[in-house]
Structure 1
Amino acid sequence: MNLKATVILSVGLGTLLSVANAASVEETALPILQLVPQITLSGLSSGGYMAAQYHLAHAEQVSGAAILAAGPIYCAQNSLSTALGHCFNKPESSPDLAAIQQYLDKQQQDGNLASSKQLQNDKVWILNGSKDTTVLPKLGQLLAQQYQHFVSENNIQLISDKAFAHTFPTDRAELGSCDSSESPFIANCNYDAAGNFLTYLLAEIKPKVATTTGNLVSFNQHQLSDAAKQSLAETGYAYIPQSCASGESCRLHVSFHGCKQNAEFVDQAYVTNTDLNNYADSNNLVILYPQTTKSMFNPNACWDWWGYSGENYATREGVQIIAVNDMVDSLLNNGRN
């Protein structure tokens, strides 16, 4: 692997993705919860790539995914040069969807991805801002085209007409401008992305609360998963509403941060400012926020969508997908993996 190319990619991806939030975080073991077995996913930029990868790998437990500011699944094809040339910000980008599909089909046949039958009824929500100069909007359009191979076209919603830069859109007036892509990459766009994609994925939701009352807890990712030790941070986060902590039936949503958007870079900004927690309180949702870590080959703490963690990164054999699946299973099974 070419270190110079890796650094170039990661530095660029840092713009893919601080206002540190003062919320306190309670350190604890993950509690016993009553969670339904089907989960939903979302992610921004490298986190969007990861959400789609996890969806294809474990569709048996996923009912829907929201992907913001990302491109086709396996776009990079385990190649830095392909990632830089076709999955990023070059106008001439042209991912080889036919070759990618051939790879994904083979992985399905080998049992390394979920079967198409497990995907076909899922909901997919895709957003790429028209002012995004980091991951070009046409890459989101290609992702929507790619998903039609797995999911009914009627179950795919593509939003590409919003004048957003490369950021997580909210309607929070205290956040920065939607016209720029700046840390912590969460902005006031007069658009409630979390509410829009949760409504699409879950069909009906209640309005978000103005002030959260649940607990943002930290937990040891390495204790839950040996695979997490290879490229994830030691500490992960989960937001747990009081209703879920008290034993009510709840649903699990996994949210993947983008590059330079984990706690090492932005403290608790990502795990508190997207408004997912505000919807969690009113809709009995537990939000899992797994965390990457920076390294020599990944200095901006991106999720792996080009192969820095190994050639199987986009399948069930990928160490990051294994690690997140271990966390999900631990929550769904109350620690009984």
Structure 2
Amino acid sequence: MMNAITRCVTKAAAGIALALSATTVVNASTQPVPPLNLDTDTITVSGLSSGGYMANQFHMAYSDWVKGAGIIAAGPYYCGQNDITTALSQCVNKMDSPVNLDTLSAKAKDWAQRGKIAPLENLKDSKVWLLHGTADTRVMSDVSDLLHTQYTMLVPETQVTYVNDKPFAHVFPTLDNGGSCTTSESPFIGACEYDAAGEMLNFMYDSLTAPDDTLSGNVYSFRQAELAGDNAKTLGELGFVYVPKNCEAGSDGSDGANASAGENTNGNACQVHVSFHGCNQYADAVDDAYVTGTGLNRWADDNSMVVIYPQTKKSMFMPLNPQGCWDWWGYTSEDYATRDGQQIQAVKSMIEGLSGKGIE
């Protein structure tokens, strides 16, 4: 029986994985994360593939807190339905039978009524940016179309944009960083002459400043379990955070970094964006390809924004996760897509810990 389960989950993970090659460790500062001056009243999230599913789950769980989501190549909330077979047969590169959005919506409504996710009416205040490339064969367009349909049932149509006419493969599109844009190859960061990071952030935030060619800040590492405890047991040892210089507590921003996006009721406090990598895109597998290569840091640096990059890890034991995917089908528990989910709780604790204060 165990061998059958192992074969099933391994096959499923391979079907949803980003098959990236292993390299070394992220080139992060050797210094501890400095005290940060953050505004955590609202945050935004993004992700690619399994990270896109996770960004959606985090958004739905905390739509009273998360006010923007940028999702590349993922499907509707609770598509996997706590079943790896369903996830593989309906939610990635094929749809053996139609996905019933009414069933998924009913589950979301039930969880909202029970307090397991935020009330769905909070979503009317969100902005959602979605992308699916026409050359993407890893996640079929029908799957991403369903995510768009689901969001437009919950979010005003003017607050949702769906980019689905670009000839991109299963990659995070950038202006000029990464490999081929039209083939799904390592590192699955594509030089597409298209700034997905800028497009999504400009949709979610008002009046961003165009970035320059220099970065004022640093990538820092932190021990995820120190902030998240047992909820981090399916995650990697280290997470990463990009910190612009003027987001360090006590900085006056005199280095010239623009603070327009972070200026709010908390003075010069910086905004928080959380970005989730895809399967096999965790740092132990791909070095800094995701942490430094998407273009998010470039925009964050000139707009007073800290970017948190939580990390998964692979596991060859139960819970089996050989490709280091985020849990969007239930390998941690049946609560994986709710506020009770281990990984969702872990990431929430990371944000709280890095900000130095709790979230009410």
Q: Does TM, scored on the shorter chain, surpass 0.5?
A: yes
Per the alignment, residue 265 of structure 2 pairs with none
Per the alignment, residue 250 of structure 1 pairs with 270
Kindly provide the CA deviation profile for residues 55-111 of structure 1, in whole angstroms up to 9, marking residues without a partner as x.
010112111000001011110100111111100111545222111111111100000
* Structure ranking higher in strand proportion: 1
Q: Which amino acid aligns with 1:307?
A: G
Instruction: Write the distance in 1 (CA, Å) between the matches of 2:128 and 2:117.
Output: 17
Instruction: Write the distance in 1 (CA, Å) between the matches of 2:97 and 2:165.
Output: 20
How far has the Cα of 1:30 moved from its partner?
3.6
Per the alignment, residue 43 of structure 2 pairs with 39
1:278-317 → structure 2 map (5 Å cutoff):
278-296=298-316, 297-317=320-340
Instruction: Write the distance in 2 (CA, Å) between the matches of 1:313 and 1:98.
Output: 20
Q: Which amino acid aligns with 1:171?
A: L
Per the alignment, residue 329 of structure 1 pairs with 352
The answer to whether the Cα contact below 8 Å between 1:262 and 1:301 also exists between their aligned partners in 2 is yes
Per the alignment, residue 114 of structure 2 pairs with 110
How far has the Cα of 1:18 moved from its partner?
5.2
The answer to whether the Cα contact below 8 Å between 1:239 and 1:287 also exists between their aligned partners in 2 is yes
Instruction: Write the distance in 1 (CA, Å) between the matches of 2:31 and 2:214.
Output: 22
2:205 alignment partner, one of 163, 177, 202: 202
Q: Measured at CA, do residues 91 and 119 of structure 1 come closer, stay the same or move farther in structure 2, by a change above 3 Å?
A: closer
SS of 1:195's equivalent in the other structure is helix
The answer to whether the Cα contact below 8 Å between 2:50 and 2:279 also exists between their aligned partners in 1 is yes
Instruction: Write the distance in 2 (CA, Å) between the matches of 1:176 and 1:217.
Output: 25
Greater shift, 118-127 or 246-255, is seen at: 246-255
SS of 1:286's equivalent in the other structure is strand
Q: Measured at CA, do residues 316 and 160 of structure 1 come closer, stay the same or move farther in structure 2, by a change above 3 Å?
A: same
Instruction: Write the distance in 2 (CA, Å) between the matches of 1:17 and 1:105.
Output: 37
Per the alignment, residue 144 of structure 1 pairs with 148
Kindly provide the CA deviation profile for residues 133-183 of structure 1, in whole angstroms up to 9, marking residues without a partner as x.
0111121111011112321121110111111100100011x5211011112
**TM-align CA RMSD:** 1.9
Percent identity between matched residues is: 44
Q: Which TM-score applies when normalising by structure 1? A: 0.94
Q: Measured at CA, do residues 275 and 18 of structure 1 come closer, stay the same or move farther in structure 2, by a change above 3 Å?
A: farther
Q: Which amino acid aligns with 1:324?
A: V
1:55-74 → structure 2 map (5 Å cutoff):
55-74=59-78
Instruction: Write the distance in 2 (CA, Å) between the matches of 1:68 and 1:227.
Output: 29
Structure 2, unpaired ranges of 5+: 253-267
Per the alignment, residue 290 of structure 2 pairs with 270
Q: Which amino acid aligns with 1:185?
A: F
The answer to whether the Cα contact below 8 Å between 1:240 and 1:286 also exists between their aligned partners in 2 is yes
Per the alignment, residue 8 of structure 2 pairs with 5
Q: Measured at CA, do residues 24 and 3 of structure 1 come closer, stay the same or move farther in structure 2, by a change above 3 Å?
A: closer
Per the alignment, residue 341 of structure 2 pairs with 318
Q: Which amino acid aligns with 1:188?
A: A
1:82-121 → structure 2 map (5 Å cutoff):
82-90=86-94, 92=96, 94-121=98-125
Structure with higher Rg: it is 2
2:172 alignment partner, one of 152, 156, 168: 168
Instruction: Write the distance in 2 (CA, Å) between the matches of 1:148 and 1:175.
Output: 32
The answer to whether the Cα contact below 8 Å between 1:221 and 1:228 also exists between their aligned partners in 2 is no
